[in-house]
Amino acid sequence: MLFFSVALAVARRQVYRVFTKLSFFLPSLFPVLFFLAFAGGLTRVGEVPGFDFPAGYEAFQFVWVLLQAVTFGGAFTGFAIAGDFESGFARRLLLAAHRREGIILGYILASLVRVTFTGLLVAVSAYLVGMQVLGGGVDLFGLVGLALLLNFSATLFATGIALRLRTQQASPLIQTPLFLMLFLAPVFVPMPLLEGWIEAVAAVNPLTFLLEAGRSLIIGEPAGVWFAYGVGAALALVLLGWALTGLRRAERSGS
């Protein structure tokens, strides 16, 4: 099998599973829930002295929820890979595919389809609750680009772990670092309003740069966007190596 045909076959199977199995599909609704809970219930947080975000609290939360959705889209792909190893499917796949890197690309493509769907769900929910978008088309394109870059990185991270451990018990190892990265960022208030330990952690968290750039794009005042893209690209590059070396390990293990 050639590289792209392997990728497409894996992607098609994975997308089919996501949209036909309830247990795969339901987690896609999580980000919508987060958005409704945070943007719906916490709007008054936008009135805290020093909170200055012209598009309102819904738009402020939308960017975080979007990044959360794409990150967890990557994590769920990792769970699926681990599940495929447990069921024996991945072993047969490794035997059948000549260009095994195509397997990773397949899972990445499936993850992209999944997060596109989830992202649209979140966007529709945001529209329904009256979110304001002050940025133009180019700004929104930039925001979507950041989200896709993050999904790419998160999928590679989860893939690397799943290929190394090849068991669903790896789920906490996939989920926990991503969860920490997401929540140890300026989730509820802007960076200048954070205090104490979380401010120090958020200042060095790579997600903070993507989040702040995304928020600047949604209000049409881009700031730190190229730097955020640089951080995202660096993450993706490092994690590509992580996923590929994970694939080599899986090949060597023969399982």
Applying CB under 8 A, the residues found at the interface with another protein are 22-23, 26-27, 29-30, 33-34, 36-38, 40-45, 47-51, 129, 169, 171-172, 179-180, 183-184, 186-189, 193-198
**Nearest 10 degrees: CA dihedral of 34, 35, 38, 42?**
-160
Cβ-based nearer residue to another protein, 48 or 223: 48
Least gap, CB of 126 to another protein (angstroms): 13
Cβ-based nearer residue to another protein, 137 or 197: 197
How far, in Å, CA of 5 to CA of 209, rounded? Answer: 36
Residue in 14, 173, 152 with CA at minimum distance from that of residue 70: 152
Cβ-based nearer residue to another protein, 9 or 193: 193
Least gap, CB of 81 to another protein (angstroms): 16
Least gap, CB of 181 to another protein (angstroms): 12
Mutual orientation of helices 225-253 and 101-128 as an angle, nearest 10°? 140
Cβ-based nearer residue to another protein, 103 or 194: 194
- CB distance 42 to 61 below 8 Å: yes
How far, in Å, CA of 234 to CA of 240, rounded? Answer: 10
Least gap, CB of 247 to another protein (angstroms): 25
Amino acid type, 23? S
